[in-house]
Structure 1
Amino acid sequence: MDLDILIKTLPSQPGVYQYYDKNGTILYIGKAKNLKKRVASYFTKNHEYGKTKVLVKKITDIKHIVVNTETDALLLENNLIKKYQPRYNVMLKDDKTYPWICIKKERFPRVFLTRNVIKDGSEYYGPYTSVRTAKALLDLIKELYHLRSCNFDLSEKNIQDQKYKVCLDYHIGNCKGPCEGYQTEENYNNDIVAIRNIIKGNFKDSLKSFQDLMLHFAAEMEFEEAQKIKEKIDLLANYQAKSTVVNPSITNVDVFSIVSDESYSYVNFFKISNGAIIQSHTTEIKKKLNETDKELLELAIFEIRQRFNSQSVEIYVPFKVDLGENIKVTIPKLGDKKRIVELSLRNAKYYRQERFKQIKIVDPDRHVNRLMAQMKKDLRLSEEPRHIECFDNSNIQGTNPVAACVVFKDGKPSKNEYRHFNIKTVDGPDDFASMEEVVFRRYKRLQDEGEKLPQLIVIDGGKGQLSSALKSLDILGLRNKIAIIGIAKRLEEIYYPEDPIPLYLDKKSESLKIIQQLRNEAHRFGITHHRNKRSKSAITNELENITGIGKQTVVSLLRHFRSVKRVSLASFEELESIIGKAKAEKIITYYKQKQSK
């Protein structure tokens, strides 16, 4: 059937749409409040993102499933993506098998750590992204409550038949011996109720229970038992203090935030129970079709909540998301709720920085690709700036004007391609005219030699220097062939041709760091050359100031003596052997007169 007819006959109801190629393979699965409007947008919009254009070209068939609500559409989309794993859909991959704390469904339930969730009616809490956290909690439970560690079938009949005998755990005080009937099922289950509350982050009931018990033992003059209970209270209070306390009034809430760059997004999740963060997890998502933060966060919320078996009815997020009518979405504006979203955001940013460091070491090509894509986006370029050149003028104290050009390839210095320029056509210190000269000379030479031109030119300076560089590009016919920007030092403003309003990049952005590194490197390289030139000029001037001593004589002297100072200290005989008697006498006379002054 013709695609236009398919689109026109789609219902204007919530649902899930599926795109197929000519081979009947699912390319993409999406959800929509209005199927007709959403699907039509793919074929009527002029898509800037390349992968979306490719997807639309491949679509030969569209199928859809109508559902009652938007929530149903979200759930169905999530399940279908997992089942079919279409090429153009984002998927939250996670190869890790996280540990859970299991309370086994049995008489006298065991409590243990496991990575295998078996649907046998047992209770599973987690998963815990940190094994150390899960083990610490389990160790705390074992310190507070004496649970059995054996896997015997402690049925009422087996206990009555005295099928089992107490083990070492009983004798050292780690178990109360339910296998021989020394502990009642009711007493054991009371401990399980308390353990369940602790795992959920509710310490209040357990603390009160222990405090009441401690007071009871103290009243009965059983001070040793009272001391044991006090130690348990201290353990519990210490563990609670180590939890990241948010606000006791914030309970049973999920917090989500997202940070994105050109190619990836990072979603952080907090689970808050009884005023404390009891779970934290950050996941990386690879973008497929230039998805928005809103789309990716909605997908991540459903996936992560399923993965962590979250039943929270309220979610805190930094911006509005559509999650259906069964979940309360809060966008905090101030106070503790706002601070917890900001904390989540900081965790997502920190995770992104760590991933950048890891990728830089493990997969440098991927790091470079991401950096180039980000610079293209941040600097509003038409192509990735794989080759960047930066110019800087140096004319300190108005003498010996020089300029420097530094070259970066894939975001790194290419030092063998750095170039110095001695200003030839400008008299006196004139930054604008000097910039015009060196830019012209640089790109006239590259054109004449058939060398590759850069994708981006960076001028160290504001609008004046940028305008001067543009004059040379106009003369060479390169005005619209190479992107060019100027960076002013004071506030790090970035100027564009014919745009009076500068661009201000985030001070922490990778793009600004590269631009700053370019500018600083050009300044360093230019200053070094300027210093060397002034030094050589000073040396040459002193020897050439001696009447009758020419440039060739100076070269001969410096080749032999290596410095002007050594020339000044040399004997008549040494000088005569190099430059002859007459010139040696002139140098000796010059330095004698200089010393007598």
Structure 2
Amino acid sequence: MDEPVKGLQELDQDKEKALENIRHKLALLPDLPGCYLMKNSKGTIIYVGKAKVLKNRVRSYFTGSHDGKTQRLVSEIRDFEYIVTASNMEALILECNLIKQHHPRYNVLLKDDKTFPYLKITNEPHPRLEVTRRVLKDKAKYFGPYPNAYAAQQTKKLLDRMYPLRKCNVMPKEVCLYYHIGQCMAPCVEEVPQEKYDEITQEIQSFLSGGHEEIKKELQRKMQEAAEELYFERAKELRDQIMSIDALMEKQKITMADAKDRDVFGYAVDKGWMCVQILYMRQGKMIERHASAFPFYGEAYQDFLSFITQYYSDNPALPQEILLPAEPTGTETGEDGSEADAKEGADAISGAAELQQWLGVKTLVPQRGLKRQMISMAEENARVSLEEKFRLIERDEERTSKAAENLGAAIGLESLSRIEAFDNSNIQGTNPVSAMVVFIDGKPAKKEYRKYKVRTVEGPDDYETMREVIRRRYERVLKENLPQPDLIVVDGGKGQISAAVDVLENELGLFIPVCGLVKDDKHRTAQLMVGDPPEPVHLPRDSQEFYLLQRIQEEVHRFAITFHREQRAKSMVASRLDAIPGIGEKRRKLLLKHFGSLKKIKEASVEDFRPLSIGDKLANQIINALRDEES
């Protein structure tokens, strides 16, 4: 039997065996809540999910029809495990922990769950105020998260001016500049009572928790006193602090009368992608938003809840209230929305209840009013973000395709879709290799890249290397009726172009345009040469066509040099073993297959060589030779 056919049959048998095993396990699933872990043929966990009823949820993957992205997930499943939990809330927490532990490729992964900045009042005898992205269980007080580092730094900058906590990481031996400008109490040289620290910490806490209006009134009172006593510099400093507070709190778009801290969530899905928008409301004011976009493979709303669970799993600075959208149900609604109020969002409310129980934070799914408007605003922002993402992708594709079209026009081709580019690599003629990359409509087609070990050329002869590789490539194109390129690109000038054209036209009877990319003294794309004899073609350096040529040249050079390094490394290993008496080609291959690398051979004991039928004497010679060479 032909080997490839035999291999395919064995794969089909393994798949059928795995699916039969899954069918048996499905029959044993319990009617209980829990988490399930889907595995591929290698035993790797590729998806983690939770279910109120494991039996129903897991079976749903293997019955009925699915959309394209879910089919992709299901096609890789070869086994599954499940863990029963006591409640839906336990399943929610367990799912979050399993996702963070295994990083399954088909789950929504919150890659930036620790990138949000926080303000922190340290738990030290002499506390400091700092911006941090690491949240530790160190009894410090954390405030945030802030949407970006700038917002956190600006808030810290204001508080540093208002409250004289120490700024240094290590206590100095003498007072610093901050003491002289009134921003530090100099605990390095003076005793600061704990009561003073408690008072400052309490005021900072009050400010960050919404008490900025009271603090602003107190600053205004002090400013009036300073002005009346003719301390104008102090009055100006206090006025600047008041203006900074106003500027910091001015970034509002919606205001709620109750001045609560809220996180408002909304999401949108399109083309297998999800965008989650978080609107941050602090002291009743919307100060900023954050967006995360990612592909998803499960059910949209469940993956949305999974994102929220991961987001809050390491977040100690929780808001007072979390607002979530209802799960879409497709229900027809009347003008007053009464039917929607009655029917939609049962699962959403259940998910909100589980989050509330776990986090200890009021979690709502509002159906009407201003809170519902805020969720609609978050959902609209998510939808716009996704549309913008796809427009940028389409624009990039359009620009890339247009660049290829313009390049074709510049060199006199009616159409230019497929480009094949070649580059040679060697060091003084040793381990000569060549590589080919393919660009279709201006984009790399990596599955069609090819590598070539040069067979017939001795020494560093770039022209003959080009002739050999062009001959081998296009003999195969003719023999196997493969797609022919619209343009061949070689790395070099007139000599390389002439060598390629000679082989194509005189030996193979192919008339494919060939151009050369000439580099400058800094090894960057400098000029395009086309024709017979080759002549330079002027392209503006800031044009998309020139940028496309740069990408092609950089890509083929990267591919060739990587292949050359691989071959050189193998050659060095072979030569070091071949230099040892008693080691021929057969034993060298056997040693490398058994140990995997020279390092492991060198670190092996004499006993480790016995399974290879290598005696103790030869084993000692091998080990000593490699160790002596290194020393």
Q: In which range does the TM-score fall when normalised by the shorter chain?
A: 0.5 to 0.7
Q: Provide the residue aligned with 2:325 in structure 1.
A: 318
Structure 1 residues 364 and 7, CA gap change in structure 2 (3 angstroms): farther
TM normalised by structure 1 equals 0.53
CA distance in 2 between counterparts of 1:270 and 1:62 reads 37
1:185 lines up with 2:194 in the alignment: yes
Q: Equivalences for 1:295-310 in 2 at 5 Å?
A: 295-306=302-313, 308-310=315-317
1:168 lines up with 2:177 in the alignment: yes
Asked whether the 8 Å contact 1:128–1:134 carries over to 2, the reply is yes
Q: Provide the residue aligned with 2:376 in structure 1.
A: 342
Question: Which amino acid counterpart does residue 281 of structure 2 have in structure 1?
Answer: I
Structure 1 residues 34 and 285, CA gap change in structure 2 (3 angstroms): same
Task: Tell me which of 11, 19, 35 is aligned to 2:38.
Answer: 19
Asked whether the 8 Å contact 1:250–1:274 carries over to 2, the reply is yes
1:235 lines up with 2:244 in the alignment: yes
TM normalised by structure 2 equals 0.50
Asked whether the 8 Å contact 1:108–1:189 carries over to 2, the reply is no
Structure 1 residues 59 and 326, CA gap change in structure 2 (3 angstroms): closer
1:86 lines up with 2:115 in the alignment: no
Asked whether the 8 Å contact 1:69–1:324 carries over to 2, the reply is no
Asked whether the 8 Å contact 2:279–2:290 carries over to 1, the reply is yes
Asked whether the 8 Å contact 2:96–2:309 carries over to 1, the reply is yes
Please state whether the residue corresponding to 1:339 is helix, strand or coil: helix
Structure 1 residues 303 and 364, CA gap change in structure 2 (3 angstroms): farther
The CA deviation string for residues 567-597 of structure 1, in whole angstroms up to 9 with x for no partner, is xxxxxxxxxxxxxxxxxxxxxxxxxxxxxxx
Residue 140 of structure 1 and its aligned partner are, at CA, apart by 1.4
CA distance in 1 between counterparts of 2:263 and 2:317 reads 8
Task: Tell me which of 36, 39, 55 is aligned to 2:58.
Answer: 39
The CA deviation string for residues 431-463 of structure 1, in whole angstroms up to 9 with x for no partner, is xxxxxxxxxxxxxxxxxxxxxxxxxxxxxxxxx
Q: Provide the residue aligned with 2:423 in structure 1.
A: none
Task: Tell me which of 295, 301, 305 is aligned to 1:294.
Answer: 301
Asked whether the 8 Å contact 1:246–1:340 carries over to 2, the reply is no
Q: Provide the residue aligned with 2:161 in structure 1.
A: 143
Asked whether the 8 Å contact 1:201–1:276 carries over to 2, the reply is no
Structure 1 residues 190 and 212, CA gap change in structure 2 (3 angstroms): farther
1:102 lines up with 2:131 in the alignment: no
Please state whether the residue corresponding to 2:188 is helix, strand or coil: helix
Question: Which amino acid counterpart does residue 389 of structure 2 have in structure 1?
Answer: R
CA distance in 1 between counterparts of 2:164 and 2:288 reads 26
CA distance in 2 between counterparts of 1:285 and 1:249 reads 34
Structure 1 residues 306 and 354, CA gap change in structure 2 (3 angstroms): farther
Q: Provide the residue aligned with 2:599 in structure 1.
A: none
Please state whether the residue corresponding to 1:195 is helix, strand or coil: helix
Structure 1 residues 140 and 356, CA gap change in structure 2 (3 angstroms): farther
1:280 lines up with 2:289 in the alignment: yes
CA distance in 2 between counterparts of 1:43 and 1:333 reads 35
Residue 303 of structure 1 and its aligned partner are, at CA, apart by 2.0
CA distance in 2 between counterparts of 1:269 and 1:316 reads 10
Please state whether the residue corresponding to 2:383 is helix, strand or coil: helix
Q: Equivalences for 1:388-399 in 2 at 5 Å?
A: none
Q: Provide the residue aligned with 1:359 in structure 2.
A: 393
Residue 54 of structure 1 and its aligned partner are, at CA, apart by 4.9
1:120 lines up with 2:127 in the alignment: no
Structure 1 residues 351 and 338, CA gap change in structure 2 (3 angstroms): same
CA distance in 2 between counterparts of 1:117 and 1:304 reads 13
CA distance in 1 between counterparts of 2:313 and 2:113 reads 16
Please state whether the residue corresponding to 1:92 is helix, strand or coil: coil
CA distance in 2 between counterparts of 1:5 and 1:337 reads 48
Asked whether the 8 Å contact 1:92–1:285 carries over to 2, the reply is no
CA distance in 1 between counterparts of 2:144 and 2:363 reads 23
Question: Which amino acid counterpart does residue 162 of structure 2 have in structure 1?
Answer: L
Question: Which amino acid counterpart does residue 66 of structure 1 have in structure 2?
Answer: V
CA distance in 1 between counterparts of 2:320 and 2:209 reads 15
Structure 1 residues 52 and 10, CA gap change in structure 2 (3 angstroms): same
CA distance in 2 between counterparts of 1:308 and 1:358 reads 33
Q: Provide the residue aligned with 1:435 in structure 2.
A: none
Task: Tell me which of 237, 257, 264 is aligned to 1:255.
Answer: 264
Asked whether the 8 Å contact 1:248–1:274 carries over to 2, the reply is no
How many residue pairs align between the two structures? 358
Structure 1 residues 279 and 182, CA gap change in structure 2 (3 angstroms): farther
Asked whether the 8 Å contact 2:353–2:363 carries over to 1, the reply is no
Residue 177 of structure 1 and its aligned partner are, at CA, apart by 2.6
Matched-pair identity in % = 33
Residue 73 of structure 1 and its aligned partner are, at CA, apart by 0.8
Asked whether the 8 Å contact 1:257–1:297 carries over to 2, the reply is no
Please state whether the residue corresponding to 2:354 is helix, strand or coil: coil
Residue 244 of structure 1 and its aligned partner are, at CA, apart by 4.0
Please state whether the residue corresponding to 2:36 is helix, strand or coil: strand
Structure 1 residues 267 and 196, CA gap change in structure 2 (3 angstroms): same
Asked whether the 8 Å contact 1:248–1:276 carries over to 2, the reply is no
Q: Provide the residue aligned with 1:539 in structure 2.
A: none
Q: Provide the residue aligned with 1:501 in structure 2.
A: none
Unpaired runs of at least 5, structure 1: 154-162, 369-409, 411-597
Structure 1 residues 217 and 55, CA gap change in structure 2 (3 angstroms): closer
Unpaired runs of at least 5, structure 2: 1-19, 327-344, 357-361, 403-440, 442-631
The CA deviation string for residues 164-215 of structure 1, in whole angstroms up to 9 with x for no partner, is 3322222233323333327543223322222233334441342344355557
CA distance in 1 between counterparts of 2:97 and 2:401 reads 32
Please state whether the residue corresponding to 1:71 is helix, strand or coil: helix
Structure 1 residues 239 and 102, CA gap change in structure 2 (3 angstroms): same
Asked whether the 8 Å contact 1:137–1:199 carries over to 2, the reply is no
Question: Which amino acid counterpart does residue 313 of structure 2 have in structure 1?
Answer: Q
The CA deviation string for residues 327-348 of structure 1, in whole angstroms up to 9 with x for no partner, is 1443334432123223222332
The CA deviation string for residues 9-28 of structure 1, in whole angstroms up to 9 with x for no partner, is 22211100122344323232
Structure 1 residues 235 and 54, CA gap change in structure 2 (3 angstroms): closer
Residue 247 of structure 1 and its aligned partner are, at CA, apart by 0.8
Structure 1 residues 342 and 20, CA gap change in structure 2 (3 angstroms): closer
Q: Equivalences for 1:560-575 in 2 at 5 Å?
A: none
Task: Tell me which of 366, 381, 386 is aligned to 1:332.
Answer: 366
The CA deviation string for residues 286-343 of structure 1, in whole angstroms up to 9 with x for no partner, is 022xx44312321221122235545246322231322443514433344321232232
Asked whether the 8 Å contact 1:32–1:38 carries over to 2, the reply is yes
Residue 256 of structure 1 and its aligned partner are, at CA, apart by 0.5
Please state whether the residue corresponding to 1:3 is helix, strand or coil: helix
Residue 255 of structure 1 and its aligned partner are, at CA, apart by 0.8
Asked whether the 8 Å contact 1:71–1:323 carries over to 2, the reply is no
Task: Tell me which of 85, 90, 102 is aligned to 1:67.
Answer: 85
